[in-house]
Amino acid sequence: MGGLIDLGDMLFHIVNVIILFLFLKWLLYKPVVNFLKKREEKFAVQSNDLENREKAVQEDKDKYEALIKGSKEESARIMKTTTDAANARATEIIVNAQKEAQQLLEKSQHDIDERSKQAMVDLKADIADMACDLAARILKREIKEEDNNKIIEDFFKRVG
């Protein structure tokens, strides 16, 4: 019987393979499946944690960007306020300088007018003295002050 396959041995081997398969399934398959499920659950938890952290990071990023934008807007507002204040101060300084210049000009004009009047008075007095000297020489006598004033008044009426 060496060449023929024994049906009993074959059946024995098939039963052994089935028993071995069931035993290995019970021994290995369920623990491996449980291990894979636990590993899958662990990855799912880690994935959720990662997503939550990413969301938190994105929220923090959005907050910081909003803060940066707000600070940029605040700094622009402060710069505008400062520039406006500086421009207002510059305008005020210019207006004050113009007023002071106008006052100096008016004072100078007043001083010139006063000096002109004083020069005219001095000139009248000098002309009167010269006229008196001239008249005294011509008349060889001394002219009284009343006569002198009358001559001066007549002279300036004619001269203008």
Domain around 147: 7-159
Say if residue 122's pLDDT is above 90.
Answer: no
Domain membership flag for residue 2: no
Reference 87, options 95, 1, 52, 152; nearest CA is: 95
What does pTM read for this prediction? 0.42
CA-based end-to-end distance of the chain: 173
Is 149 within a domain?
yes
**pLDDT tens for each residue of 130-141:** 777 777 666 655
Residue 29 within any structural domain of the chain? yes
- Evaluate whether residue 1 is within a structural domain: no
139 domain-assigned: yes
Take residue 16 and report the two structure tokens written for it. 């052994």
Question: What pLDDT does residue 32 have?
Answer: 85
- Tell me what pLDDT residue 13 has: 93
Q: Give the position of tokens 């113009």.
A: 98
Q: Is 90 within a domain? A: yes
DSSP state of 29: I
What's the pLDDT at 39? 93
Q: Contact, 152 vs 128, CB < 8 A?
A: yes
CB of 128 closer than 8 Å to CB of 148: yes
For residue 99, the model assigns a pLDDT of: 93
Q: Which residues contact 8 (CB under 8 A, 6 or more apart)?
A: none
Lowest-confidence range among 89-93, 110-114, 137-141? Answer: 137-141
Number of domains in the chain: 1
User: What pLDDT does 100 receive?
Assistant: 92
Using the predicted structure, report yes or no on whether residue 102 has a pLDDT greater than 80.
yes
Residue 146 lies in a domain: yes
Q: What is the per-residue pLDDT across 23-58, written as a single tens digit (0 to 9) for each?
A: 888 888 878 888 899 999 999 999 999 999 999 999
Rounded to whole angstroms, how far apart are CA atoms 140 and 105?
50
Eight-class DSSP state of 4: S
- What is the percentage of the chain residues whose pLDDT exceeds 90? 44
- Whether 93 maps to a domain, the answer reads yes
Element (H, E) at 147: helix 145-159
